[in-house]
Amino acid sequence: MDNIQQITQSKAGNIMPIPIPMGDSDQTEVFDLGGNLETISVEGYYTSDSVANTKTKVDALLALFDGSQDTAISLITDQTGTLSVKIADVSITWSIGDTPTSVVANYGIKLLRST
């Protein structure tokens, strides 16, 4: 991934609250049913001197998200170290670059930490 601008990591529990009928919130039972889930969001951009070159970079990213993620991929950055992840979501926003023949593809990727 080129030109990473932001990495956001979050961890959330899979808890289920069960309020007590006719009871106040301090009487709510909360059960941890599924452990924790870690989400990593990566945002950045691709750019080059031509639309075709930028599209090649975008196509390589989209090829990782091919619908059959049997094995995890490695996310390696200075900030996160090496993490095994699977891709949950990819978004691409195309915009005009500095010159009429250049183009910028901003990307956002939502990753889930995996084994």
Q: Which domain holds residue 93?
A: 4-11+37-113
Block residue for tokens 């941890």: 32
Block residue for tokens 């084994």: 115
Q: Residue type at 93?
A: T
18 has pLDDT over 70: yes
Q: Residue type at 67?
A: G
Q: Write down the pTM of the prediction.
A: 0.78
Q: Within a domain: residue 70?
A: yes
The CATH number covering residue 44 comes to 3.30.980
Q: Within a domain: residue 23?
A: no
Q: Residue 20 phi/psi, 5° resolution?
A: -80, 125
The predicted-structure confidence for 45-98, as pLDDT tens digits, reads as follows 998 878 888 899 999 999 888 777 788 889 998 888 899 999 999 999 998 767
Q: Within a domain: residue 30?
A: no
Q: Within a domain: residue 50?
A: yes
Q: Within a domain: residue 31?
A: no
22 has pLDDT over 70: yes
* Domain count across the chain: 1
Q: Within a domain: residue 99?
A: yes
